[in-house]
Amino acid sequence: MELFADPVFLARLQFTITVIFHFVFVPLSIGLGLFMAIFQTKAYKSQDPKDEAIARFWVKVFALTFTVGVATGITMEFSFGTNWADYSRFVGDIFGSPLAAEALLAFFLESTFLGVLIFGKKKVGKKFYMVSSWLVWFGSLLSALWILIANSWMQTPAGYEIADGKAIVVDFFAAAFNPETIPTYVHTVVALVIMGAFVAFAFACYYHLRGRNERFVTNTVKFGTIVMVVATVLMMPAAHMQAKVVADEQPSKLAAMEGQYETEAVPMFLFGFVDTENQTVVGPSIPGLTSFLAAGDFNAEYPGLNDLEAAEPGSTPTDAEVQTTFINYHIMIIMMGVICLGVLIALILALKDRFAFCGKLANKRWIWKVMGYLWIAPFLAIVTGWCTAEFGRQPWIVYGELKTADAASAAVSPEMLLITIILFLVIYLLIWIAWGRLLFKFLQEGPESVESSMQLEAAAASTDADKKGGEWA
């Protein structure tokens, strides 16, 4: 088990665990935040208690998820200093400012208006409350922008020079809007929105199969389908832009994604695995398709891992990293196929009253059951997509400039890392179970429970309205 004595491996393992856990809840927050804001707006416009109950149900679900995102995000902010001290010293001049800006410009916005959403129903006006839900969502989008600016700079660094062994920013806008920033941002946010739509749909399927909350089901199917179709259509150019940047800027990542060792026109594998010993890929492929997507030419040649390694020894991922990148990338692609199928099902369910054949299909229970589980596809696509981006960048932590192996904290021993990894696993498992239980509890109780508590409140308010003026929610 010599891996468990290697501080760099352990630091990477810890980062992988904490960032993936965090990254599961952030997409949910951003994805579901849109639905919360949409239904808040609907309730505000209609002033109907039933819409109001649905809107409050969404606030509960959103707050639950957002809390976990906030709590697990605290670790990330400090992980660069704790686990990656030499990285921090190298990039401080560039990487710190987006983190500070994220806290200053986004976190304060989110936390303030989340406080309003959870505790302020009776403390602020109806319009203020509705606008707050949009501000929280806007804040989360802003937060995603700053953190992706920071991450993109690690992928395609720009606007800097090296002085005294450190990266010094010379052009803020070139650094912030490096080649990866916009493609990654659009790709990521659109993916998160797709995920939110599938989870919202899963709730709708749950209620439909139990014959509950027809209003919730109808509305979620309607808005969910619109969001899903728009986002999935947007995903096509976004993913294309992202792939093109990788092909242009990160040749070793592109080669790892398709397991390509020799310089040649790059095929696209449908699935398979890398036979690293023989340096080939086992699986069916479409020849030249990746080259075509990246360069518009089926015969465009891209450098393979062997030539890249020969040109600069130690600049390409290890066999294990190539395998991981390949597998993650292809799971993501397959999941994108499943997502497209899911969008078709969503369209069928949304158009059930418009077309007879849609209505026929929507009467089958199995189609709702299937749709109820399809959130797994965007979930997997998000996690594997992220792993593709990060494993594919190896051995670099800042592409072409600093190696991951040279970035860890010298002051942190393997024992400390092992202890904290175990503690993270225990705490995150507890949080995950607690979150899952509560989410399921909210789902079971549904908007009806909110409605009944609203009736209780109304009754209580009318009895002691005069003696209690400005009260707490």
> How near is the Cβ of 88 to another protein at its closest, in Å?
4
CB of 191 to another protein, least distance (A): 25
Which H or E element spans position 209?
A: helix 181-209
What tokens were used for 186?
Answer: 């659009």
Q: Which two three-digit tokens encode residue 365?
A: 């229970």
Cα–Cα nearest to 388, from 95, 188, 133: 188
Between 80 and 396, CB nearer to another protein: 80
| Residue 456 dihedral angles phi and psi, to the nearest 5° | -60, -45
CB of 294 to another protein, least distance (A): 34
Q: How many residues does the chain have?
A: 473
3-state secondary structure of 316: coil
Nearest distance from C-beta of residue 298 to another protein, angstroms: 44
In the complex, least distance from residue 30 CB atom to another protein, rounded to whole angstroms: 17
Phi then psi dihedrals of residue 269, to 5 deg: -80, 140
170 vs 370, beta carbon nearer another protein: 170
Closest approach of Cβ 99 to another protein, in Å?
4
CB 221 within 8 A of CB 349: yes
Q: Decide whether 272 or 414 has the Cβ nearer to another protein.
A: 414
Quick one: 248 or 415, whose CB is closer to another protein? 415
* H or E element, residue 207: helix 181-209
Judging by DSSP bridges, how do beta strands 273-275 and 280-282 pair with one another? antiparallel
Residues pairing with 273 in the sheet: 282
Q: Which is nearer to another protein, 77 or 309 (CB)?
A: 77
Least distance in angstroms from the C-beta of 237 to another protein: 31
Report in angstroms how near the CB of residue 73 gets to another protein at its nearest. Answer: 8
Q: CA 460, CA 458: separation in Å to the nearest integer?
A: 5
* CA atoms in the 13 A half-sphere facing the CB of 231: 26
Whole-number minimum distance, CB 94 to another protein, in Å? 7
For 118, the token pair is 């959870």
* DSSP string over 390-447: HHHHTTEEETTTEEGGGSS-TT--HHHHHHHHHHHHHHHHHHHHHHHHHHHHHHHHHH
**45 with 426: CB under 8 angstroms?**
no
SS3 at position 271: coil
Question: How near is the Cβ of 108 to another protein at its closest, in Å?
Answer: 5
| Residue 361 phi, psi (nearest 5) | -65, -40
Nearest to 88 by CA among 188, 166, 205: 166
Strand partners, 163: 166
Which DSSP state fits 168? E
Chain centroid to Cα 114, Å, comes to 20
Q: Distance between CA 100 and CA 190 in Å, rounded?
A: 25
Q: Are 14 and 424 in contact (CB under 8 A)?
A: yes
- Give the chain's largest Cα–Cα span: 82
User: Minimal distance in Å, beta carbon 370 to another protein?
Assistant: 30
Element (H, E) at 31: helix 7-46
- Provide, rounded to whole angstroms, the least separation between the CB of residue 118 and another protein: 7
Q: How many CB atoms lie within 10 A of CB 287?
A: 14
